[in-house]
Structure 1
Amino acid sequence: MTTRERIVDEALTLFSIKGFKGTSVKNIADAVGIKDSSLYKHFKSKREIFDTIVLKMRKRMECMTEQIGLPDEEKLEEAAKFYGRITLEDLQEFSRKAFLFYLKDEFISRFWRLANMEQYQNPEIYEIYRQIFMEESIAYQKQLFSMMIHNGSFAKGDPQIMAISFYAPIFFLLSKYNGREEGVSEALDILDRQIQEFYQIYSRKSQEKE
């Protein structure tokens, strides 16, 4: 790990414990084991370190999509066809893998704790978190479900409500079980049941079986 990478990693750990405002550049430098002046050779400010954390987190989320075999989010039509073909078991498996990635990835987990801590202290940082984990996720899924309705994979309905129905329980489970290793199996069981109910309500395949 390079010095720059160590700065980002230690900063995120400190931010997730002490908050953004409560962490000084000196705190970060001390954690890395360098002088303040050395840190400024890599970053101009504490905010620049935070902005780098956000960029790195977005890249980790993109890596997650590739790792579990999901289609590129930029190719909505391809994604809609992909999800239109998968079975309930497939959807549960993909959802499990994505959930576990978000839950167990230390980088994302620390950012999640930071953002929740900052929601009443630093609205700007919380807004970034809200955009990534709420607004952007719902917007993407709304577009995806719209295309799945259009191509006949899903029954007709309100795609935004579908997106919220699908994502809200997952978001809740991530919030509830973040940092609770002993609750993972319980969370996965709830997730499986949530996905099954969602699939039965909206999937054409499920309705045709009935």
Structure 2
Amino acid sequence: MKRNTKEDILIAALNLFAEKGFDGVSVRDIAEEVGIRQSSLYKHYESKQDIFDNILIRMEEQYQRMTLEVRAPQGAMQDVAKAYEIITTEELKEIARGMFFYWTESDYASRFRKMLLVEQYKSEEKSRLYHEYLTDGPLKFMAELFRLLVERECFIQEDWEFLALEFYSPIIFLMARYDSGAEREVIIRQLNQHIEHFAAHYRKD
């Protein structure tokens, strides 16, 4: 099977960025990790920043595929809200588990997340990306979703930004626990319990 050097460079760079940080890695380091000459690397990417930009493109492509694979509702927010209006708690748990383990177990996504976790303190660009993917972005999406669900009287009358925080905060905390070595079975149980409790407390019958 023919080697995909362009892809190998992305994977090697992401691994190194997650381990040493963006500034701690040179183009030479990436080339050595792949097992090619630095001059050969430049046939595929113009610079280290170009490699990083292509990591972002690949990340977005993978994320979109993942949302389809876990059967997360797609489309305009009104359509997404309609889908979540009739979704069962068991289906919601399946979606949550799929997304959770994508960010924690997928080689690409987990290293991307860990890279941004560290790099957010060193770079405005990386900080923006971290919040876009893992804090402010998800919270903004969920707040709008819960606003529509409250308006449709599917959820109790509650501040939708609070609902977003209430739903998402334990998930981020569980990611940190899983990164620290918590057992997978324990995390699954606690994630399921969180979804069940949230649905029972805020969702109307």
Q: Tell me, yes or no, whether TM beats 0.5.
A: yes
**Matched residue of 1:44: which SS?**
coil
Which residue of structure 2 aligns with residue 33 of structure 1?
35
What pairs up with 1:170-209 in 2 under 5 angstroms? 170-178=171-179, 180=181, 183-205=183-205
Q: Distance in 2 between matches of 1:138 and 1:174?
A: 16
**Matched residue of 2:183: which SS?**
helix
Which residue of structure 1 aligns with residue 139 of structure 2?
138
**Matched residue of 1:204: which SS?**
coil
Q: CA deviation at 1:50?
A: 0.9
Q: Is 1:82 aligned to residue 83 of structure 2?
A: yes
Which residue of structure 2 aligns with residue 48 of structure 1?
50
8 A contact 2:103–2:113 mirrored in 1: no
Which residue of structure 1 aligns with residue 22 of structure 2?
20
Q: CA deviation at 1:110?
A: 0.6
Q: Identify if the C-alpha distance between structure 1 residues 175 and 55 changes in structure 2 by more than 3 Å, giving closer, same or farther.
A: farther
Structure 1's consecutive aligned runs of 4 or more residues displaced over 4 angstroms after TM superposition are none
Q: CA deviation at 1:27?
A: 0.5
Q: Distance in 2 between matches of 1:114 and 1:37?
A: 26
Q: Distance in 2 between matches of 1:178 and 1:63?
A: 23
Please tell me the residue identity of whatever aligns with 1:22. G
**Gapped regions of structure 1 (runs ≥ 5):** 206-210
Q: CA deviation at 1:179?
A: 6.7
Please tell me the residue identity of whatever aligns with 1:49. I
Q: Distance in 1 between matches of 2:56 and 2:180?
A: 20
Q: Deviations over 1:23-49 (max 9, x none)?
A: 110010111111111111211110111
Give the TM-score normalised by the residue count of structure 2.
Answer: 0.93
8 A contact 1:103–1:178 mirrored in 2: yes
**What is the Cα-based RMSD across aligned positions, in Å?**
1.5
**Gapped regions of structure 2 (runs ≥ 5):** none
Q: Distance in 2 between matches of 1:49 and 1:179?
A: 29
**Matched residue of 1:125: which SS?**
helix
Please tell me the residue identity of whatever aligns with 1:19. G
Which residue of structure 1 aligns with residue 66 of structure 2?
64
Which residue of structure 1 aligns with residue 10 of structure 2?
8
Q: Distance in 2 between matches of 1:62 and 1:178?
A: 23
8 A contact 1:109–1:178 mirrored in 2: no
Give the TM-score normalised by the residue count of structure 1.
Answer: 0.90
Q: Distance in 1 between matches of 2:38 and 2:102?
A: 34
**Matched residue of 1:79: which SS?**
helix
Which residue of structure 2 aligns with residue 157 of structure 1?
158
Q: CA deviation at 1:167?
A: 0.8
Please tell me the residue identity of whatever aligns with 1:183. E
Q: CA deviation at 1:54?
A: 1.6
Q: CA deviation at 1:122?
A: 3.0
% identity of equivalent residues:
33
Q: Distance in 1 between matches of 2:127 and 2:176?
A: 15
Which residue of structure 2 aligns with residue 109 of structure 1?
110
Q: Once structures 1 and 2 are overlaid, which stretch shifts more, 117-126 or 187-196?
A: 117-126
Q: Distance in 2 between matches of 1:166 and 1:199?
A: 9
